[in-house]
Structure 1
Amino acid sequence: MPYEPLPDLATLSLAEIAALNDARKLPPVAQWNPQTSGDSLMTIRADGRWFHDGGEIRRPAMIRAFAGLLRREGDGRYWLVTPVEKQSIKVEDAAFIATDVAAQDGALAFKLNTDEIIVAGPDHPLVARGTAELPAIYLAVRNGCEARINRSTWLQLVELADADLTAASQGVRFALVPA
């Protein structure tokens, strides 16, 4: 079945976003605890590009498939997890990059570099790190993984923010600069 790219984020309602997210059946990696482990020889670079054994993975479908298997454990290590095995994966900064944002129905919806949409809120908080001069904003995605908000998306987010540089989504307020 061929992959259908997402429509423009700004054209989607919150209900349409929810329907798209429900239609994407992600594996239950949080429930899997395989005993066998190894090294995937994979790296997700800080700019969001994926590499295997030094060569860049250029097929978006492969990246989307691997992204659905990602989990970050309490010790900070990242894994690609299946029911029978988990393989370590190096992540230089964040597992995902948020490349667009739209305000819809009292919520902030973010498009990721993996063609997923995550709505910020209680289950997907925004966290400001770095300094006031050089903030780094992250969005909780799933299974302990985060998306770093890229510069252009951060600028979009600032335009949507209040004068005190906070933004609200699903009834929760988030600071856009670290305290």
Structure 2
Amino acid sequence: MTMHTGNDEQGLSKATDTAGLEALVSRAARAGKGPPPVERWNPPFCGDLDMEIKRDGTWFYLGTPIGRMPLVQLFSSVLRKDEDGNTYLVTPVEKVGIRVEDAPFIAVEVNASGSGPDQVLTFRTNVGDVVEAGSENPIRFVDEDDTDGLKPYLLVRGRLEALVARPVMYELAELGEEIDVDGTAMFAIRSKGTTFPIMPMDRLRRLSA
């Protein structure tokens, strides 16, 4: 794909195709070393973009899936979720709103090292983030009403979370153990010295009966 070389005034909100978006976001990503400091940028809001991240992690632009993973990774590097609960693509000069069906990322792999209180759970997301669960990157479990199951989410950065993929959820369940949490017996997992309750042991026993 040929990248457009227009200047920043063209803007995300005025770009007419994916190449134009790629050019602007690429300039933002090259603005400094390491991940772009999107949390420190305070650009004006320039409207919504017809871009959506589906529940399975697939990115769509103008109703068409974005098939190039390097491009998806580029866009994901300048994602930010603000206090208003909305998700944006943010550059130093503007921010535009996008739609997210569930979570912006999917946790597709987990590695467990150590055991007990010393256990560390390291996750990889579908866009290449590598995150160690812990106090700064907690795991939370949400009841899924339509299946009577649980959906785990991992905080990746800022307010952006990854939905833990079903196969990875099964791996987490294998690592679960009974842990006393504030006087209640909980089925829980541990990582980097932090305990993440999954459900009360009473509920687990009822589900297993």
TM-score of the superposed pair, with normalisation by structure 1 = 0.82
**Does 2:149 correspond to 1:140?**
no
> 1:89 maps to what in 2?
98
> 1:45 maps to what in 2?
54
Change (3 A) 1:103 1:91: same
**Does 2:44 correspond to 1:35?**
yes
Gaps of 5+ in 1: 1-23
- Which one of the candidate residues 48, 73, 84 is aligned to 2:82? 73
> 1:120 maps to what in 2?
133
> Equivalents in 2 of 1:99, 1:165: separation in Å?
22
Question: Shift in Å at residue 177 of structure 1?
Answer: 3.8
> Equivalents in 1 of 2:123, 2:49: separation in Å?
28
> 2:183 maps to what in 1?
none
Letter in structure 1 aligned against 2:131: I
Larger radius of gyration: 2
Cα-to-partner distance string for 1:126-149 (whole Å, 9 max, x where unaligned): 011115931011001112110001
Cα-to-partner distance string for 1:33-84 (whole Å, 9 max, x where unaligned): 0024222211000010000010000100011111110110111100000000
Change (3 A) 1:131 1:46: closer
> Equivalents in 2 of 1:50, 1:177: separation in Å?
32
**Does 2:26 correspond to 1:26?**
no
> Equivalents in 2 of 1:95, 1:54: separation in Å?
17
> Equivalents in 1 of 2:126, 2:103: separation in Å?
12
Maintained 8 Å contact 1:107/1:168? yes
Q: Identity of counterpart residues, as a percentage?
A: 38
Number of aligned residue pairs: 156
> 2:198 maps to what in 1?
176
Q: Which has the higher contact order (CA 8 A, sep 6+)?
A: 1
> Equivalents in 2 of 1:157, 1:37: separation in Å?
41
Question: Shift in Å at residue 161 of structure 1?
Answer: 1.5
> 1:3 maps to what in 2?
none
Cα-to-partner distance string for 1:89-139 (whole Å, 9 max, x where unaligned): 100000100011111242100110101111100110001111593101100
Gaps of 5+ in 2: 1-32, 179-185, 204-209
After TM superposition, which residue ranges in structure 1, 4 or more long, deviate above 2 angstroms? 176-179
Letter in structure 2 aligned against 1:60: M
> Equivalents in 2 of 1:154, 1:89: separation in Å?
27
Maintained 8 Å contact 1:139/1:149? yes
> Equivalents in 2 of 1:165, 1:32: separation in Å?
40
> 2:171 maps to what in 1?
156
Secondary structure of the structure 2 residue equivalent to 1:168? strand
TM-score of the superposed pair, with normalisation by structure 2 = 0.71
